[in-house]
């Protein structure tokens, strides 16, 4: 899902929209990226702490979305 952030269309306006039905899959993607943060850091040029900060925010968004039975929009 996260590579979609790089795909700007008229419909998504550059935002990643995760509907409630895809929250579990999105969380698993965040877990996988966290487990491979060193590779992700090297590939993006962002330091590890910055990448972990973003992933932590995404995991918090997952928790909040579940608590309100909603989705997530990342912009």
What would the pLDDT profile of 23-45 be if each residue is shown by its tens digit?
A: 999 999 999 999 999 998 998 89
Question: In 10 A of CB 75, how many CB atoms?
Answer: 9
pLDDT computed for residue 39 by the predictor? 93
Rounded Cα gap, residues 55 and 44, in angstroms? 14
> Region 67-75: what's the mean pLDDT?
94
Q: Give every CB contact of residue 51 below 8 A, 6+ residues apart in sequence.
A: 33, 37, 40, 41, 44
19: left (phi over 0), alpha (psi -120 to 50) or beta: beta
In this predicted structure, the answer to whether residue 68 has a pLDDT above a threshold of 90 is yes
Domain boundaries of the chain, sorted by first residue: 2-74
pLDDT in tens, 11-25: 666 778 899 999 999
Compute the C-alpha angle 8/1/9, nearest 5°: 15
> Average per-residue pLDDT in the chain?
87
């Amino acid at each position: 899902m996260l590579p979609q952030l790089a795909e700007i269309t008229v419909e998504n306006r550059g935002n990643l929209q995760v509907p409630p039905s895809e929250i579990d899959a999105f969380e698993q993607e965040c877990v996988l990226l966290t487990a491979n943060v060193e590779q992700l850091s090297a590939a993006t040029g962002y330091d590890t702490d910055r990448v972990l900060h973003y992933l932590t925010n995404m995991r918090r968004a997952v928790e909040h979305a579940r608590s309100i039975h909603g989705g997530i929009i990342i912009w």
